[in-house]
Structure 1
Amino acid sequence: MSDALQSQSFNHLAKKLLAGGAAGCCAKTAVAPLDRIKILLQAHNQHYKHLGVISSLIQVKNKEGFFSLYKGNGVHMLRMFPYAAIQFTSFDLYKQALRHLHSEGNVHLIRLTSGSLAGLTAVLCTYPLDMVRARLAFQVSGEHIYTGLVDAFRSIRFHEGGVPALYRGMVPTLLGMVPYAGISFYSFETLKELCLQYFPDYLGRSNPNNPDTLVLRTSAKIFCGGFAGAMGQTLAYPLDVVRRRVQLSKMLPESHKYKRKWYQILLMVYREDGVFRGLYRGMSINYMRGVPMYAVSFTMNETFKELLGLDTSS
């Protein structure tokens, strides 16, 4: 490959990574307060476990101050930029690779598989940052265990079993990511295609990079992204609860209960708290944060790709 082609390929990849990373940061910052409340409710924080979503938001603001609603968000941005950049970019790369391998293959299977693989790739690359961010977000003012990002990394590594401790909860995360990312990407890509195929005059507009093709209007992107997020998280949520319990086990009163296999913890949560107050506890806030988060994430990724002159076809 010539130097010119290598440079062009590198620039193309860099633009994709930038678009995905920036989109992820926009999305996570938009829902950061709800994200923190979700963590507090999932793991039954003693100060907020008796409260609902709105009352928890008010209580956190009154007890810890407005900016405490964004506690852990700085660390989350450190994780979210590479996470979203890798996820969106690897989805496009997996999709291209699978199409080349199966030129006559089922486009639906390719989208579903590419989304799942993209989610797994992003998680494997950024999981320790998610672990640390969850620990920092779970802390309540006046009861801090960690002073910051570096202290949390150092403490987990030296007091909880070395580097493997930073990957505690990885298995349920990966298992949950397969349907979560797969269905989310599949739903968005399929809805985008259907919108442009059947409602081009209402939901489409001319592509600024290629006037002969159409792209979704912003309102349609928001709808497709929100619906895609709702579909994915509904199936994967119980495993997300297990992931949070395992990640936060050292900070919970009965930490010894979480020294088990992920499926044993899943059964324990079900037996102790049931379906709605256990496996799906915090689900209402997950919709409140997940739907707009995915709406913003997919919308901004498509928008940034357009601005950077990248292909946005499904």
Structure 2
Amino acid sequence: MPDDTKSPMFFIKSFVSGGISGMTSKTAIAPLERLKILLQAHNKHYKQFGVFSGLLAVYKREGFLGFYKGNGAMMVRIFPYDSIKFMSYEQYKKLTAHYLGPKSHAGKLMNGALAGVTAVSCTYPLDMIRARLAFQVTGEHIYTGIIDAIKTIVRKEGGIKALYRGYTPTILGMIPYGALSFYTFENMKYICLTYAPNILGKRSAATDEIVLRVPASLLCGALGGAIAQTISFPLDVSRRRMQLAMVLPDSKDFSNVFRTLRTVYRQNGIVKGLYRGLSINYLRVVPQVAVSFATYELMKQIFHLKTGIQKN
């Protein structure tokens, strides 16, 4: 089958596939995403709760819609974020295959890392806004919506650069996260389609390939998400603290990534500080990444994009 990765339709289809996968996965885990932000930043109303007790507390205090506070900003961010991430991943994969070879492990790690950094750099201010909106509790609102949050932060916190507070730990965290999540998924996918194609794969008449079945895609994505999140989680905590610094006491202690990590460690230690919220993150990230990769693989199959391995 001819290489279609240079055609305009390939860019469009991979862009749309990535956006749909992101919106689907984030909506599925929105309640856990909000609770993670509340716990990471020690919100005074919820800091004493665990995962399940915290979800119950959010429902009692703010109702069902409380689970989706900040999700509108997330949808505005996640479509371009995942669109850019998956589309750029396909392009980086083609580039590294040309220079390093298609089986290069270094190239595979670079593809995910570069795709993640590219997507974050393009959409970071929207992540900042989503975190601020999700941190608000009913009755104590600072911002009335996305536009108001942007205007307020720019006006009161130092201009446009305030929208990039926490950018450094985000990039530092994204490098191992993006690299490991894509690397693990691609290698698990290869193993599944190579050693168990009749069980975990199926034939695609459109692209003449063996492609992953949806349950297999979910499994590969879940494993990739779990490994990547474990490695990068302390930097995710640092990012959230820096993003929320101006609405937290002692904001000077969260002015840069290293000071933030040191402050969190000194105040709360490793388990209750640097890895606070990790259990909820497993419940959140594992299904999120699983749904994201599975949806992307499914969308590629629907759009007849190459996604599997050629039949013998």
Whether the TM-score (by the shorter chain) exceeds 0.5 is: yes
> Which shifted more, 106-115 or 235-244?
106-115
**CA contact under 8 A between 1:27 and 1:293: conserved in structure 2?**
yes
Partner of 2:51: 53
CA distance in 2, matches of 1:161, 1:106: 46
Partner of 1:220: 216
> Which of 67, 70, 92 is equivalent to 1:69?
67
The Cα of 1:256 is off from its aligned counterpart by: 2.9
> Which of 259, 267, 285 is equivalent to 1:264?
259
Partner of 1:155: 152
Q: Per the alignment, in what secondary structure is the counterpart of residue 210 of structure 1?
A: coil
**CA contact under 8 A between 1:208 and 1:306: conserved in structure 2?**
no
CA distance in 2, matches of 1:176, 1:310: 30
**CA contact under 8 A between 1:31 and 1:293: conserved in structure 2?**
yes
The Cα of 1:106 is off from its aligned counterpart by: 4.5
Partner of 2:79: 81
Are the structure 2 counterparts of residues 106 and 205 from structure 1 closer, same or farther at C-alpha, using a change threshold of 3 Å? closer
**CA contact under 8 A between 2:38 and 2:46: conserved in structure 1?**
yes
Partner of 2:198: 201
Identity, in percent, stands at 51
> Which of 285, 292, 300 is equivalent to 1:297?
292
**CA contact under 8 A between 2:254 and 2:263: conserved in structure 1?**
no
Partner of 1:173: 170
Q: Which runs of 5+ in 1 are unaligned?
A: none
**CA contact under 8 A between 2:207 and 2:306: conserved in structure 1?**
no
**CA contact under 8 A between 2:41 and 2:240: conserved in structure 1?**
yes
**CA contact under 8 A between 2:242 and 2:254: conserved in structure 1?**
yes
Superposed, which structure 2 residues align to 1:130-141 within 5 Å? 130-141=127-138
**CA contact under 8 A between 1:87 and 1:118: conserved in structure 2?**
yes
CA distance in 1, matches of 2:283, 2:62: 22
Q: TM-score with structure 1 length normalisation?
A: 0.95
Two-structure CA RMSD over aligned residues (Å): 1.5
CA distance in 1, matches of 2:260, 2:128: 18
**CA contact under 8 A between 1:20 and 1:84: conserved in structure 2?**
yes
Superposed, which structure 2 residues align to 1:230-241 within 5 Å? 230-241=226-237
Q: Which runs of 4+ in 1 moved over 3 A?
A: none
The Cα of 1:272 is off from its aligned counterpart by: 1.1
Partner of 2:26: 28
Q: Per the alignment, in what secondary structure is the counterpart of residue 46 of structure 2?
A: coil
**CA contact under 8 A between 1:146 and 1:152: conserved in structure 2?**
yes
Q: Per the alignment, in what secondary structure is the counterpart of residue 203 of structure 2?
A: strand
Q: Which runs of 5+ in 2 are unaligned?
A: none
